[in-house]
Chains A and B, each alone.
Chain A
Amino acid sequence: MRANRTRASCALALVLTLGGTLTGCGGDGGGPGGKVRLQFTWWGNPDRAARTEKAVKLFERRHPDIDITTSFAGFDTYLAKLATQAAGGDAPDVMQLDYRQINQYATSGILLDLGEHPELRSSEIDRGLLATGAVDGKQYALPAARGTETVAYDAALWRKAGVPAPTRSWTWDDWSDAMRKLSAAKTSQGRVGSIDPGQSEDVFEIWLRGQGKSLYTKDEKLGFTEDDLTRYWEWSNGLRKQGAVSPAEQTTLMDGTVENTPLGRQKAIADFNWDAPVSGYEAIVGKGLKMAPMPVGEDGTAGQYFKPSMFFGASAKTAHPKQAAQFIDFLLNDKEAGAILGATRGIPANDTIRQDVLPKLEGFDQVISTYQKQFEGKLKDPPPAPPKGDASLQKTFSRDYDQVSYEHMSPREAARDYITEAKAELRQ
């Protein structure tokens, strides 16, 4: 695969430069003055940038022979930029990766097999979590931190409506009942219970896992049928029609920011989200903001899992694999680095670092870590990284559901559409 790719991009480069200024397809050598230069990219916000920069400085102090150039962008733009760089044969030496990129990048020969580099230790990372960064038995990326989904809600409004508070073992039916009661209560002043869960593939996955199924099977095929999806969408669409969850006009305003969720716009009382972004609701909801576990299946099967919020990987073409591995090791396993980075990428995946960091966390990070603690050792292993071709399916999922909630399609029609497209994408 790898050789094939290299030959192809060389051929492409040859065509492109028309026998002109071809500089060769080999990687570039060391930097000037014998100093090793590494490029490191990630996505994130200014706070993460400041902390990362500090950690990088520390690393450079300890390794005077290594010089690290860093760069960052917002998530959506980062994906497009990294894809362009990778396609141009120019992936950065060390990169932060998303769950959904791993399989594609690994099988296309973009990523280095980090398992071959003993500089990089992974012993302190949970086995199940670690496995999400492995493809065909090779460790292409290591999880940096973990997150899990939650039901964030306005506890004050919830209490006023007289609805029993969420428990650790509430089922999807309990959840539906609560939403119906919340939206009907006078005290809610016209707010609905929750965001419409139909638009979210993430929520669908938890729902599926609660029934012992999964999005993808081990052999990288779809893990559910048209009937499963139809059932899910009929359920959510029914709640929408009853006014228990947000109407299409509210649901469609979601743009990835917490501010534009129904809860963020103060049109709903609860919302599904990953734990890390929930801090954003605090400014809007205030002190009454609480986090409940995700509902479980009818037989009590929990669908919830710890998902690696991001990974670190290295380029297969890097001229300095050893140093790249050293740097990733530093980011993941070094105590001082852990103290600097805190929970800026999520609650650390490294068990020791996590124990060290937790007491020092401030503000909402503390709430998140307390939330996560209740699941410690109780959740099933996360599913392996989604297969290649899945990249656009999350968008397709909400797009198809848009057709349902605007009543352009029936749940069955939309589900058929999704399955057809998913199979085409996964090249089944």
Chain B
Amino acid sequence: MTTAPMTTAPAARRRPTGRIVLHICLIAVLLVMLYPLAWLLATSFKPADEVIASLKLLPSHFEWGNYSTALDGVNEVSVGRLLWNSLLIACGAVLGNVISCSLAAYAFARLRFRMRGPLFAFMIATIMLPHHAILIPQYIIFNQLGMVNTYWPMILPKFLATDAFFVFLIVQFMRGLPRELEEAARIDGCGPFRSFFSVILPLTRPALITTAIFTFIWTWNDFFTQLIYLFEPEKFTLTLALRSFVDASSQSAFGPMFAMSVFALLPIVLFFLAFQRFLVEGMASSGLKG
């Protein structure tokens, strides 16, 4: 197997003017796309009476008070604590999904066993049921297990590969890997476990990193599960806490809410920036297809 060189797509071979046009197009699209983000950032500096009512991008004056209110924490719980709780849940979920989904995906993609067809069909079907419909039964189960007001309802399902999306994703990636890889490993005397850990898993790294990134972001933003299962404010997450600035039945503090959501965005931005480069480079050097 030769290591594939950095692949070059057709467009890259065109004349330099073509490349400049491409950059201009990309930047134009980007500007449009980033406009709402600029709005979000600008709003976090708006004084109270402009947050909702103003339809202008920039605040009339910069209101730093939003940030200091937000950073004071909520309900006597410090922002540091909220951040830590969010990180705990998100990291637990990432660990769970990467381990359990890759295990299940390997079985579906590379091993043969009875009932594989129906089980795979069932797994796909689980993605199709709106989760609101199973919320109450799930709550009763976690309540019976004594796990309400703990982080288990957010983490345990990930260790049990209930996110069929990721199992399916990794399955699709593993299917692209040539059969000969395992055959070669088997000739060297590797069983399914060895060949999973030392052959298949390293080659699936891009899919695993994709899984990690998506899991982190989606768990971080998953307001509803956290709302239902967490009770004590000391256990709240950033996502949950920023909502408590808003209450439709009384006066809301939208300014600090925006400040808090900008703040809550930082960890996921950092997580994404840290791992995004592995997404593609990892793939290019993995030497798929000999």
Contacts and interface: CB of A to CB of B under 8 A. Distances in A.
Interface string A378-391: 00000000000000
Contacts of A90: 139, 143, 148
Interface residues of A, number: 52
A58 interface: no
A374 interface: no
Contacts of A255: 248
B119 interface: no
Nearest to B142: A88
Given A17-B144, A277-B251, A49 B136 contact: no
Contact of A88 (B143, B227, B251, B252): B143
A13 B248 CA distance: 35
A16 B231 CA distance: 23
Given A39-B231, A45-B250, A87-B139, A72 B52 contact: no
Contacts of B232: 69, 71
Contact of A76 (B136, B244, B248): B248
Q: How large is the interface on B (under 10, 10 to 19, 20 to 34, 35 or more residues)?
A: 35 or more
A16 B141 CA distance: 6
A161 B122 CA distance: 68
Interface in B247-288: 247-254
Contacts of A39: 231
B104 interface: no
Contacts of A50: 75-76
B243 interface: yes
Interface stretch (A106-114, A243-251, A260-268, A400-408): A260-268
Contacts of A80: 227-228
Contacts of B49: 283-284
A73 interface: yes
A143 to B, nearest CB: 15
Contacts of A43: 247, 249
A278 to B, nearest CB: 10
Interface-centre pick from A41, A73, A89, A258 (highest chain B CB count, 10 A): A73
Contacts of A73: 227, 243-244
B75 A72 contact: yes
B145 interface: yes
Interface in B126-174: 135-137, 139-141, 143-146, 148
A21 B244 CA distance: 35
Contact of B233 (A70, A88, A257): A70
Contacts of A23: 144, 146
A88 B251 CA distance: 31
Interface string A259-295: 1100011100000000011011001100000000000
A259 B144 contact: no
A12 B140 CA distance: 9
Contacts of B145: 21
Contacts of A72: 75, 233, 244
A31 interface: no
A72 to B, nearest CB: 7
B76 A21 contact: no
A88 B136 contact: yes
A17 B49 CA distance: 52
Interface string B36-79: 00000000000011011100000000000000000000111000
A280 B228 CA distance: 29
Contacts of A88: 136, 139-140, 143, 148
Contacts of A44: 247, 249-250
A75 interface: yes
B245 interface: yes
B243 A74 contact: yes
B246 interface: yes
A258 B251 CA distance: 8
A399 interface: no
Given A16-B144, A264-B52, A46 B245 contact: yes
A45 B136 contact: no
Contacts of A279: 251
B140 A16 contact: yes
A45 B253 contact: yes
A156 interface: no
A256 interface: yes
A45 B247 contact: yes
Given A73-B227, A280-B251, A22 B144 contact: yes
B28 to A, nearest CB: 31
A45 B244 contact: yes
B239 to A, nearest CB: 12
Contacts of B52: 257, 259-260, 264
A71 B231 contact: yes
Contacts of A84: 135-136, 139, 228
Given A16-B137, A74-B243, A284-B53, A89 B248 contact: no
Contacts of A283: 48-49
Given A90-B143, A280-B251, A81 B228 contact: yes
Contacts of A16: 137, 140-141, 144
Nearest to B148: A90
Contacts of A92: 231
A64 B139 CA distance: 33
B257 to A, nearest CB: 10
Given A73-B243, A259-B53, A283-B49, A53 B140 contact: no
A22 B143 CA distance: 10
Contacts of B245: 45-46
Nearest to B243: A74
Given A16-B141, A46-B253, A265 B247 contact: no
Contacts of B48: 283
Nearest to A25: B144
14 contacts: A13-B140, A21-B144, A45-B246, A69-B232, A70-B233, A73-B243, A73-B244, A75-B247, A76-B248, A87-B140, A258-B251, A259-B254, A264-B53, A277-B251
Given A90-B143, A259-B53, 10 more contacts: A16-B141, A46-B245, A73-B244, A77-B243, A80-B227, A84-B228, A257-B252, A264-B52, A276-B250, A284-B53
Interface of B: 48-49, 51-53, 74-76, 135-137, 139-141, 143-146, 148, 227-228, 231-233, 243-254
* 7 nearest A-B pairs in the assembled complex, by CB-CB distance: A256-B248, A259-B52, A75-B249, A74-B247, A88-B139, A49-B75, A45-B247
